[in-house]
Every structure is written in C-alpha cells, then in structure tokens.
Structure 1
C-alpha cells in the first residue's frame, strides 16, 4: 500500500502541473505508456564511460526492467521557441539488477552479473526542460528532441535525487496525436543506504544506481482555442470569430472570388481583384456598383455610360445620341429649320417661324380668328339634331379649312362652342348645343387635329348674338364658334 500511495502521489503531481505541449497551437500535452529501467549502466564494467554506459544499451532481455502495464504518465506545456517544460511520474519493478564482479560465477565475460534484488518497487518523479527540433527541420511528422532535467527516485526503502539528460523522437500521426519514444540517463547525485556507492555489495542491494530509463507511449496535444470552429487556431486566425479558409488565415470569402470579405467591396457577389472583388457585367472596367449603365460598356468619365456621338454627353442624357451637339443644346446640334431663333429640339413648330415665348410657334392672329369664326358659323346642322345638314356640300370644305388654320398653331388651345336659339326648353338646348360642339370636334380630330388642343362646350341659348324674337335673329343664334383660349404651356384651360 505504501508503494501504491507513492505512485498515486507521482501521478497526481504529474497531472496537476501546467507543463509541456508540442507547439503553440495546442500548448498542452498528456503522454502515457510503458517505461523500462536499465541498471546495467551503474555496474562499472568496461574500459571507459561510454563503454560502461552504452556498450549494451539495447540488451533489453538481460538488462531492462519492464512493468507490463501503464507505467508512466506525463503532462507538458509548450513555452515558445521550441522549448517546453514537463513533469512525469513513473512506476516499475526492479527484478534485474546488474553489478560488476569479474570473479563471480555466471558473469557475462565483461564482469557483469545479473541478480534479482527481490522485486524492488521503483517510483520516479521527474521534471524536464525539452527542446524540439521539429520547426528547425520543418517536418510535420518527425519530431526529434533533447532534454535535461532532474527528479527524485524511490527504490525499495531508499530514495535519491537524479540529474536527467535525455533524448527522444516523436512520430506525429496527426497534428495532435503521436508516438513518443524517449530515453534519459538518470545520474544519481545522493548516496543510498549501502556502503559502496555506485557498486553492488554482492548481497542484492543497489546503493546509488545511476541508470537509464526508456519510455514508449502515446502523446496527445490539446488546449488550442478555435472560437469559430474553422480548424484554424485563434492565435493564427486573422478572423477568429467567423469561420474562414486556411489559405486566408481563417478569414471568409463568401462569394468565392479569392478576395477575403474584409477586403472585398462586394463580399456577396463574385467579382474581380482589380475592382476590389466587385463584378463588371459590361466589361468596361467600372464596377457595377459604381456604373450608372452596368449592362452596356461606357466611359469612366460618364460613370460607365456610353457616348455614341462623342460629344461628352452620356447617351441616356443626350437628346441626339447619334449626332454630336453642345451640352447647352441637350447634346443636339443647333438646328433651326424655320430660322426663328428657336432650336428645332425646343421648337414645337420647327417648320413654321414663331417667337421663343411661344415655343417657336406663331401666335394666333386676329385674321386667323376671324377666319375661324366665319368658317365655324357656316357649319349647319339638321333641325333639332347634332348631325351635319343633309345635302350641304360646303360643310366638309369648311371643316377642312378650319383644320388647315389650326395646324399652323400646334401648341394653341381652342374651344369649340355650340349655341342654340331660345326655342324649346333650356335642358334640351343645353344638350343639343353640347352634342353639336362635340360633332365639330370629332370631325376635326378625324382630319388630324390634335385632340389635346381642342375642347367642346355647349352653352344652349344662354349667349345669343341677336334677338330670338325674329326668325333672322334666331338663325344667327343657332351657331358654332371656335375661340382661341391659350397655349398648352399656359396651364389647364
């Protein structure tokens, strides 16, 4: 029970310390496996130090003490620049003690005699400083190392301190799991209970046995932090809070265009490196987000829009996109077919001279209005109806004459007004006058007059021009008139 308590103390101490891992990604490691103790090296046989200690180093069958179970455990921590520190607890049973006695029967020819000291229990607690050559040789699998440290060994009823130089090699199966092989020479620095330090008293006791201890076991690295779970440790992850790609140091590239989102002006759309990750649909070298015409190639000076006539005005804003013209003329050449000083593009009557105040159209003259009055009053209707008088061959000619007058004033507004005499009720006369005005309007529209320039109103018998007491007066009151009521630029009539 006393020996088991010592082993428990050793294991708890090993697991409780913060010690060596193999790299800075996973700063912690735990290792466990089997150990072998070789006491032959303390026997003194041989002609010198190296002959005594290394001539039969791997004679495991005759010299090694191996406990066929889990017999060591260690915890380690990486401290940087290839260095790590650790603590290891181990247990063994010594049933092969080698001593040097050339005169003893059964020696091995070099004076070494193997004896069983009575299954002495062996416990070790050892601290180590280790240097790994893995980064130096740039290998991901082979990890050679050298170490130095010290510890304390319990052997039977004795105990002593040791200084422990050592070497090892680890073969990594993955970034975090490996097979660890190591050896250390534990040089005893304190005498035991015997009277002949460093030798065997030929009675089965070992006084201060310096010895080799070899270990073989598995090592597991852990402790690395990967907040975003992308397989890249936070310390190497430029974007530790969002999952990313290894080639971008852990940063994401959402659109897969090879530009990390943080540097991508259009992170959700596949784009070009030359445009900071933004697309250019029309291939004009201007990113779609900055292109006012993203579907058609254009000029940078016009925000990606084309200028077909090369006048410096984008086609979408050019009133004459295929003919060059000044900006003040809307991109059109200054054409004035009627020579009225109003550019054709602004001239509502480009073939008829007119003042700029009337958009290049002529003002309605009093002569034209008088002609309209004469022609309109000469349009006759069937009695009590809104149809043109049957058999009257002059009415179509008069309507044609009115159309010819109106076409000279494309931006003028005209009101076609119907009037009746006082015969009949006001309700009937109002409707009849409106219908007759509509009939004239429709006849003019059929002849090509713009309906937007016309309106029809019926006034019944409310606006007589002569007395309704005579037949001649009534005849004058039954009339149609056309009045100029303004321009379409003067607002609604």
Structure 2
C-alpha cells in the first residue's frame, strides 16, 4: 500500500517527516460477504486475517501545512495470503499501494509534546496482483514522540474500493518517524521561526536570545550585558550594595548616598568625600567641604571679613571701629602739624606727629577720613579759604605718599568759617589755625 500519511505532529519548525515501517492488510472485518466478516469483526485477529510482510514495507513522506494540518504520501508493499476465511484464493499475491492523505493532529489541543493522536482522510490507488482500483481512505493513528524529532507511529486506515473487483480492506502500519527541516541558523536549539535572535546563539527561555553574563536577564533587556547584575538594576551590578548600579555610581566600591551619586559623605556636609578637602570636618561646598576660617578670631569669617588679619567687629564687617578716643588722638596729633607762615608747606618738625597719624590710620584699613584745614580771621577771607584748602591738601598728599591709600582720604578747606576759639586773642587765633583728620561715617 502507498498511503499518504502524516505520522506525527509536525509544525513550522520541522515541516518534513519520513516514516519507515511495516504494514498489515486485513480484508476480513469490512462488512463484505463471506468469506469475509462484519464491520470490525475480529478486528485484532492477527494470526487468522492479517497479511504481514516482515520487512520494511511502508514509506511515508509528509509536509506540515498549518494549524495542525499536514499532507503526505505513502508507498507500501505486501504479500496477500489470507483473504478472510478463504485460504485458497490468494497465495503469494503481490499488493501495492500509493495513497495521499490530509491529516489533522490533536496534539495542540491536548497541549502534549509526547502523545499525538490524529485523524486523516484521502485517497489512492491499490493493486492486488494485477487488479487495481482507486480507494477512498479514512485513517486514525497516534504518534509517541521520544524526542523532538524521533517517534513511533501506529495507524489504521480503512480503504474503500471504488470497483467491485477490488475488495475494501483495512491497512495497519507501525514504524519509526523522523521529522526534520527546521532551520536553526545559530545552532542554539531554537528554530529560526521562534528565535528572537536567529543570528546569535541563545537560550530557549529567552526565545533564543543570549544572556552573556548569565544573570538571568537576556542581553536585549540587560543594561550591562557583559557583567552579571541584578533585575532591579536591569542586569547591572551594585558592588557596594548602596542601591545605585555601578554604572551610575561615582564610587562603585564604597557605599554612599543617592544624592551624591553613590559616594559617601563622612561629615554629612553635602560634599562627597572624594571631593571634600576636609572629609572629617563639615564645611560648605564653596570652600571645598572645609569650614571657613576666621584668622583673626573676631567672629567674622575670612570670606566676609574685610580685615581678615585684624580683629574687628561684626558690625564693621570684621574691621576695627574708630572709637571716639581714637578720633581725639588723631586730632591731637593733627593740631601739632606746623606750616611755614602764610604757606601750605609742612615744617620738618611735624614728621613725628605725621608718622603717628599714619600708624593710627593703618590700624583701620577700611575706614575713610577727611583732612580738614582751618584758619583764623586775620586777613582777607578769600585768602584764608585758599590757604586752608592748600594746607589740607598738603597733609593729604603727605599721608598718601607715605603709604595711606589715597582712596581712603579726602581733603577740604573751611577757611575761617569754623572757629573753635575766639579770634580776639592770640591764644584763640592759634587754636583756630589747625588741621583736623575726621572719620567719614
């Protein structure tokens, strides 16, 4: 018999199958007249009714179609010696069959990869001796798969002859089935059709895609595919266990804080230890993590202290304040400055007083002062005005020439307008002729 049969559950991955086996032909249980019996009568009476050729006598080639359906062709050969209860009609008569069958597998419905029952329908042509006729075939069978590609197949086919001179009969086959044809480009055991990464060897659990670092996360979803990591970090490691993946951790081997990109901050000043010049002493980032110094100890940090090397007051931005006592001392020295009569030139004997004034001014480097010139009322008022201005300017220029910042000094002459004593006496006029150095507030 040549029967077209799909002898196992093929699929898109292994669309082709070949079955090699033995077939048995039974004319008896087909409902024909004697010497044959009723339908399915003595169906398993192998010794009395089955014609078996004890050699390779059946070959099937099949191709998977879709949705459990396959189509195939079977060629078979046998020798007929038993025709029901008649043991004399046929003696060593040749039997040949060529059949085509469309089959449907129930393995998918059963969700089974081992047990694979199926039904089929088809037709073919059968010759007994030299008599041949077409047949309509119905088949039922089952495959038992030992592996993905190899299994045992058992099938029973009812073959109804279209001509009276050929008796309807059953043909049973048993054999070994091999399915093949699946394409696996990368050789990872996952066929290309189901392989999400057909060009790269991978794992079945990842649809054929690789997991290079073996961390259970396929490379395509692994942010660190070559370094074993954790699912919560998309496959990246967290060496120091601080909850920040190494790839995002500026200090991957030392546990740290998220807000500092994984780096520690021993003094909790908000500056990571690696950037902190004083890692064990809290300080602002603006000063490299170190506390601001106060060199003069006046309570005003050097960064805000306009006189960082001289103790001052907070109210005066870290600089010392000119007290009323200091102001009196300045003017006491200033009153001793002597000028040539009727001129602005300073006499040499005034240098000691001027040196003392310079020393005091340098103690207050941010304070500003005005050098004021005054005269008595002797002479013309305009002349006295010009003289007071010239003398004030002369003192200012002396001070700036000897180290006092010129931007801290200004000069002004008041002439005879601001007397401090009576101009009617010699002593009073002497007091009115003076230079004052006053703090600009």
- TM-score w.r.t. the length of structure 2 is 0.64
Shift of 1:184: 0.4
Describe the shift of the 1:324–1:276 C-alpha distance in structure 2 as closer, same or farther (beyond 3 A).
same
Whole-Å Cα distance in 1 between the matches of residues 135 and 254 of structure 2?
A: 83
Match for 2:283 among 305, 325, 329?
325
Tell me, what secondary structure is at the counterpart of 1:274?
helix
Match for 2:22 among 34, 40, 50?
34
228-237 vs 331-340, greater mean Cα deviation: 331-340
**1:283-307 Cα deviation digits (max 9, x unpaired):** 1111112111112222222211122
Question: 1:171 and 2:157 equivalent?
Answer: no
Alignment of 1:70-469 (within 5 A): 70-98=56-84, 112-189=85-162, 191=163, 197=164, 207-338=165-296
The number of aligned residues is: 311
Whether contact under 8 Å (1:19, 1:85) holds in the other structure is no
Tell me, what secondary structure is at the counterpart of 1:136?
helix
Whole-Å Cα distance in 1 between the matches of residues 167 and 243 of structure 2?
A: 81
Structure 1: where are the runs of 5+ without partners? 1-6, 99-111, 192-196, 198-206, 354-493
Tell me, what secondary structure is at the counterpart of 1:165?
strand
**1:153-206 Cα deviation digits (max 9, x unpaired):** 1222221111101101111121111111101000011x2xxxxx3xxxxxxxxx
Whether contact under 8 Å (2:22, 2:53) holds in the other structure is yes
316-325 vs 125-134, greater mean Cα deviation: 316-325
Shift of 1:80: 2.1
- Residue 54 of structure 1 aligns with which residue? 40
- Residue 402 of structure 2 aligns with which residue? none
* Shift >6 Å, 4+ stretches: 17-21, 344-347, 350-353
Tell me, what secondary structure is at the counterpart of 2:29?
helix
Shift of 1:130: 0.9
Whole-Å Cα distance in 1 between the matches of residues 6 and 53 of structure 2?
A: 27
**1:39-71 Cα deviation digits (max 9, x unpaired):** 12356259xx9x712011111211111122211
**1:303-341 Cα deviation digits (max 9, x unpaired):** 111223333222222233333333323333332122599
- Residue 480 of structure 1 aligns with which residue? none
Whole-Å Cα distance in 2 between the matches of residues 308 and 114 of structure 1?
A: 104
Question: 1:24 and 2:15 equivalent?
Answer: no
**1:1-42 Cα deviation digits (max 9, x unpaired):** xxxxxx9xx69xx8xx99986223211100011111111235
- TM-score w.r.t. the length of structure 1 is 0.58
Shift of 1:141: 2.0
Whether contact under 8 Å (2:7, 2:177) holds in the other structure is no
Whole-Å Cα distance in 1 between the matches of residues 135 and 30 of structure 2?
A: 13
- Residue 424 of structure 1 aligns with which residue? none
Structure 2: where are the runs of 5+ without partners? 312-441
Whole-Å Cα distance in 2 between the matches of residues 270 and 352 of structure 1?
A: 61
Match for 1:66 among 46, 52, 55?
52
Tell me, what secondary structure is at the counterpart of 1:139?
coil
Tell me, what secondary structure is at the counterpart of 1:52?
coil
Whole-Å Cα distance in 1 between the matches of residues 182 and 233 of structure 2?
A: 37
- How much is the aligned-residue C-alpha RMSD, in angstroms? 3.2
Whether contact under 8 Å (1:20, 1:78) holds in the other structure is no
Whether contact under 8 Å (1:311, 1:331) holds in the other structure is yes
Whole-Å Cα distance in 2 between the matches of residues 160 and 342 of structure 1?
A: 119
Tell me, what secondary structure is at the counterpart of 1:251?
coil
Whole-Å Cα distance in 2 between the matches of residues 219 and 346 of structure 1?
A: 93
Describe the shift of the 1:324–1:121 C-alpha distance in structure 2 as closer, same or farther (beyond 3 A).
same
- The structure with the larger Rg is 2
Whether contact under 8 Å (1:21, 1:27) holds in the other structure is no
Whether contact under 8 Å (2:134, 2:161) holds in the other structure is yes
Whether contact under 8 Å (1:19, 1:77) holds in the other structure is no
